[in-house]
Structure 1
Amino acid sequence: MLDKVNRILLGVALFALTAAALLRLYAYDQLAVAPIDQSSVTTLTGPGATIFDTGQLAEIQVDLTTTAKTVGLVRETEKEGNDVRVWETTTSTRSDDGVVRSRSVERIAFDAYTGEAVNCCGAFDETVTGDRVEVERKGQLVKFPFQTKKKTYTWWDSSLSQGVPIKFVKEEDVKGLGTYKFEQTIEPTVLSKAQVPASVLGEEGSGNLEAEMTYSNVRTLWVEPRTGVVIKRAEQQFNTIRYNGEDRVTTTKVTTGFDDKTVQENVDTYGSLSTMLFLLRTLVPALLVVLAILLGAIIVLRSRRRPSDTAS
């Protein structure tokens, strides 16, 4: 029979094991989930870009700034249960001459834990105001899974309207925060055909000619692995108008990415969350288990002592 001290030690050991299990299996799961009420503004800058100005019918050089505002649609999310998140993002790109060069709205739905696309909830793309197109997406949409692995994932590309492999490259620090660097290469791809003035294509005549609109991109993402959040993002886009197999006009040539403020805010916010996840998932449960083992060892040693040694 255990004496009073051993009973106390046993109680503490059992408490430590229970606490370790609760932290690992419950508290961690409560924290390792994408938020329902997401509210964020992300800014990307693309200095020295070449774009095709439809007013001048010519290539021009500008600095581009893209702003993306994302909100969580609480009501739509609650209809789907705890495993799905529904977010809506409004994106606009403005050049330094004050002209809005593009605007779009998209609604996405994704798994709250893995970040993978879920096709539900009226998901759509709207690149022309008022013209919403239903979209079935595949792969990662805005984030990677919690506990991201060093492997190849599928990342959704909205220009292609399909998922494209994105490969793990290496570990790399971003402003002191450890991240996994992923890279996705999209070779020049014909997206559509359009009627383009012959003069724009460098051809004789005053009529229109059928040309191909091409798109290519190298997308690089720096991901904090415990949270799966994209901390830093860069894209090298090169889009053209192609005629007779030749690129005749550059419609977009830009290297764009998160500005320093966005990157720093991501580092501050998700660096702290990463630490909390590490504590809940690994360090604290491990320490509690070690404590329980040590207490168990003490109980065994005390129990083996002779009654005369423990008598008082």
Structure 2
Amino acid sequence: MRRSAIPSAGQPSPPTPPRSSARRASPLSLVLLGLGVFLLVLAPLLAWYVEPRAKRTPIDINSTTVMTGTGSYFDQETTATKEGEKLTVTRRVLGDVAKSEEDDVAVWNVSQTIDNPKTLKLDDPRRSFQWKKERWVTDRKTNRPVHCCDESPGAFAGEGYLKFPFDMEERGYTWWDSTLGDTVPLRFEGRKKVAGYEGMHYKGSVKKQVKVGIRQVPAVLVDDSASGQMNAEEWYSNEEIHIIADERTGRIIYASIAPKLALRPPGGDEDKVTLLQSDKIEFTEKTSREQVELARDDSDRLKLVGETLPVAGAAVGGLLAAAGAVLVVRGRRGRGLEGHPDGENAPRSAM
């Protein structure tokens, strides 16, 4: 027969097997620790990886900016220069998305018209006082010109065009002047607000007149003694250029120019006909407000990704990770007491 496992009288009971002393942390502590570590990893990732890749010139741009001012222009119908007239410069920019994605550059088709009161009513660029089309190609990261993709003009250069580089500095920049067909040095003039929004103010000029092309006109316009047609020389200057750009995005939020375009006979050194002249043509209030809002939105997004979220993520992540680690350690210590000789599982003395 099998003996009973029940101890006989007077014999001490065998010790109760101790509970498992496995040190397991609570689910809450693990969640806090994991979330904290995740945020600590995410913070530098946003600042060093995501934000630099967000600083890219847009390729799907479709914008219109308008500048207005008062000045003089040559009226071909009356063959006389009209004074004190309203002048309007309209620039339309449309991004070539397909070509931009293919070559990883920003390809912008630019159409610029200059209108006097007569041509403005026609709402047709072909009937404008002056119409120019260009195709600008730039590196999306540096904003530097890229010579490809049927760019026009081929001499396109400089650091600033419709926008400047990201994270502008308090130094001089070179700005592309389409009429000049060359760059103009700009000097930093401090900070200035536009519609309550602060930007970087730059100033430059083309004080000395520069020959920029030829135009076939009736010879009598530039030479009283000549007849027929003549290839007159076009001479250009720009007395004062003001540009205010957003520091973080490089977007231009205000611009003004003071251009002069005149005709001279071949080899002449005096202006005979003033084609266009104004002391100031500047962004309209509507255009400035629109540019400010776009700059503010883009700047806020870049700041959120590059500064706010990384700093907040690092701070919150550090606190959560620390809290989780403390709870894990406490939980392990508490679990460890279950197997302690003086604890709950300590052997009881025989009675």
Q: TM-score, normalized by length of structure 2?
A: 0.74
Q: Deviations over 1:240-274 (max 9, x none)?
A: 33575444433221221221111111112221221
- The CA distance in 1 between the partners of 2:322 and 2:175, in whole Å, is 50
Change in Cα spacing, 1:278 to 1:181, as seen in structure 2 (3 Å) is: same
Q: Pick from 28, 52, 62: which aligns with 2:51?
A: 28
Gapped regions of structure 1 (runs ≥ 5): 126-134
Matches for 1:163-202 after TM superposition, within 5 Å: 163-191=183-211, 192=213, 200-201=221-222
Q: Does 1:118 align with 2:152?
A: no
With over 3 angstroms needed to count, the CA separation of the structure-2 counterparts of 1:241 and 1:173, relative to structure 1, is same
Higher strand content, 1 or 2: 1
Q: Relative to structure 1, is the Cα distance of residues 92 and 167 closer, same or farther in structure 2, using a 3 angstrom cutoff?
A: same
Other-structure match for 1:128: none
Q: Secondary structure of the equivalent of 1:124?
A: coil
Q: CA deviation at 1:204?
A: 5.3
User: Which of 40, 60, 67 is the equivalent residue of 2:90?
Assistant: 67
> What percentage of aligned pairs have identical amino acids?
28
Matches within 5 A, 1:216-231: 216-217=237-238, 218-231=240-253
- Tell me what 1:129 maps to: none
- The answer for the alignment partner of 2:117 in structure 1 is 96
Alignment equivalent of 1:106, drawn from 134, 154, 159: 134
1:226 to partner: Cα distance = 1.1
Work out the CA distance in 1 between the residues paired with 2:317 and 2:94: 44
Deviation at 1:52, TM superposition (A): 2.2
User: 1:3, CA displacement in angstroms?
Assistant: 5.5
1:198-213 residue pairs with structure 2 within 5 A? 200-201=221-222, 205-207=225-227, 212-213=233-234
Distance 2:232 2:309 in 1: 61
Check the 8 A contact 2:186/2:204 in 1, yes or no.
yes
3-state DSSP of counterpart to 1:41: strand
Counterpart CA distance in 2 for 1:236 and 1:31 is 35
Alignment partner of 1:51 is 2:76:
no
How far the C-alpha of 1:20 sits from its partner, in A, is 1.1
Segment drifting more, 105-114 vs 55-64: 55-64
User: Following the alignment from structure 2 to structure 1, what is the Cα–Cα distance between the partners of residues 81 and 149?
Assistant: 40
Distance, in Å, in 1 between the alignment partners of 2:273 and 2:103 is: 46
- Hey, what's the Cα distance between the residues in 2 that align with 1:211 and 1:65? 25
- Structure 1 residue corresponding to 2:174, chosen from 142, 154, 159: 154
Distance in 2 between residues matched to 1:94 and 1:209, nearest whole Å: 25
Aligned residues: 298
- CA distance in 2 between counterparts of 1:72 and 1:197 reads 39
Evaluate the alpha carbon distance shift between residue 150 and residue 42 of structure 1 in structure 2; reply closer, same or farther with a 3 A threshold: same
Going from structure 1 to structure 2, the CA distance change for 1:235 and 1:110 (only over 3 Å counts) comes to same
Over aligned residue pairs, what C-alpha RMSD do you find? 3.2
- Highest relative contact order (Cα 8 Å, sep 6+), 1 or 2? 2
Q: Structure 2 matches for 1:279-294, cutoff 5 A?
A: 279-294=304-319
Q: Which residue type is aligned with residue 206 of structure 2?
A: I
1:237 paired to 2:293? no
CA–CA distance in structure 2, aligned partners of residues 2 and 136 of structure 1: 70
| Equivalence for 1:256 | 281
What is the CA deviation profile of residues 262-293 of structure 1, one whole-angstrom value per residue up to 9, with x for unaligned ones?
11111122212211111111122112222344
What is aligned with 1:132? none
The unaligned stretches of length 5 or more in structure 2 are: 1-22, 120-126, 339-351
Does residue 39 (structure 1) correspond to residue 58 (structure 2)? The answer is no
In 1, the alpha carbon distance for the partners of 2:286 and 2:191 equals 22
Partners of 1:16 and 1:291 within 8 A in 2: yes
Q: Normalising to structure 1: TM-score of the pair? A: 0.82
Q: For residues 111 and 230 of structure 2, what CA distance do their matches in structure 1 show? A: 34
C-alpha distance in 1, partners of 2:93/2:206?
Answer: 25
Q: Over alpha carbons, which structure has the higher Rg? A: 2
Matched-pair contact (CA < 8 Å) for 1:38–1:71: yes
Q: Which of 212, 225, 236 is residue 215 of structure 1 equivalent to?
A: 236
How many angstroms apart in 2 are the aligned matches of 1:311 and 1:182?
72
